[in-house]
Amino acid sequence: MDGLPGSVGTSASFSLRLGQTMFSSASLLFMSLGVEFYSYTAFCYLVTIMGLVIPWSFTLALVDGYSVLVKCPIRQPGILLIIVVGDWVLSTLTLAAACSTASVVDLLLNTHGSFCPPKLCSRSKVHLECNESHAQLHSRYTKSTDKINS
C-alpha cells in the first residue's frame, strides 16, 4: 500500500480530494445559479448529492493533509473500510445524478413542444429550440384547421 499512488494519507490523495471538493462546489454553484433546479427532480437530486460530496471530500482532504504533515499515513482497517464504502456510495450516487441530469437536458433539447419554463428558456439554447418547435407546431395546426374549414 505504500507504493500505491493516491492512497489515503499521501500528497496525491490530498490533491485529488481538493480537486474533488472544488469540482463538486463548482457543480453545485452552476446548478444553483444557472437554472431553476427545483423545477426538475433530476437537478434537485444532483444538487443534493453534490451537497453530500463536498463535506465528505473536504473532510478527507483535511485528513490527508494532516497525514502528510505528520508523515503518518492511515493504516487502520476500520477507517480505510469507512472511506472505501463512503467513496463507493457517493461515486455511485454521483454517477446516477449526472446521468439523470443529462437525460433531462437531452429531453429538453429534443422535445417537440414547450416543456421548459420561461425563465429557463430565456437563459439557454433551449429557448431557441422551444420557439422553433412551437412555431412549427402552430403552422401545422393552422394548416390542418384550414383544410378542415375549406
Question: Containing domain of residue 103, as a range?
Answer: 40-110
Query: What is the pLDDT at residue 22?
Result: 93
Please write the tens of the pLDDT for every residue from 48-98. 898 999 999 999 999 999 988 998 878 788 988 999 999 999 999 999 988
Establish if 60 belongs to a structural domain.
Answer: yes
The count of structural domains within the chain is 1
Establish if 106 belongs to a structural domain.
Answer: yes
Query: What is the pLDDT at residue 36?
Result: 66
pLDDT greater than 50 at residue 127: no
Q: What is the DSSP string of 91-116?
A: HHHHHHHHHHHHHHHHHHHH-SS--S
CA–CA distance, 94 with 90 (Å, rounded to integer): 6
Establish if 63 belongs to a structural domain.
Answer: yes
Query: What is the pLDDT at residue 34?
Result: 64
Establish if 134 belongs to a structural domain.
Answer: no
Establish if 54 belongs to a structural domain.
Answer: yes
Q: What is the DSSP string of 23-50?
A: HHHHHHHHHHHHS-GGGSHHHHHHHHHH
Please write the tens of the pLDDT for every residue from 2-53. 567 777 888 888 999 999 999 989 888 887 776 666 777 888 888 889 899 9
Establish if 74 belongs to a structural domain.
Answer: yes
